[in-house]
Amino acid sequence: AQKVTQAQTEISVVEKEDVTLDCVYETRDTTYYLFWYKQPPSGELVFLIRRNSFDEQNEISGRYSWNFQKSTSSFNFTITASQVVDSAVYFCALSEANFGNEKLTFGTGTRLTIIP
C-alpha cells in the first residue's frame, strides 16, 4: 500500500525567510510519480510539480525548489524568500506509474503561514 507522510502539520515563518516542507513516502512500486499541490484559502488545488521515480535531479522553479532523495524516500519542497502569498496548505502526493491510473495518495498536508 502507498503512503505519504507530511509530519509538519503547521509551519509559520516570517516573510522573506526560507522554509522547507517535508514529505516522506512509502511504495512497493519501482516506478511511481510524486507531486506537490498548493491549496490557498480559496480552496482550489494548484499543481506545482510532478517528478517520476527515475529522475532524481533536483528542480528549481523561481523561488521554489524540490529535493528528491530516493535513498530516504523523501521529496522535500523549499520556498526561498517566502512571501505572504505563499500562505496555503501544501500537499505532497504519490501515484502509480500505470498509464490511465493516475489516482493520487495524498499526505495530510502542511499549513504554511507567512507572517508579514
Where on the chain is the footprint of another protein (CB under 8 A)? 33, 35, 37, 42-45, 47, 50, 91, 95, 97, 99-109
Nearer Cβ to another protein (28/99): 99
Nearest distance from C-beta of residue 111 to another protein, angstroms: 9
- Short-list 81, 99, 91, CA closest to 35: 91
Nearer Cβ to another protein (19/34): 34
CA 96 to chain centre: 16
- Short-list 11, 8, 18, 22, CA closest to 87: 11
Nearer Cβ to another protein (62/100): 100
DSSP labels, 95-116: EE--TT---EEE---EEEEEE-
Nearest distance from C-beta of residue 53 to another protein, angstroms: 12
Nearest distance from C-beta of residue 5 to another protein, angstroms: 11
Nearest distance from C-beta of residue 17 to another protein, angstroms: 25
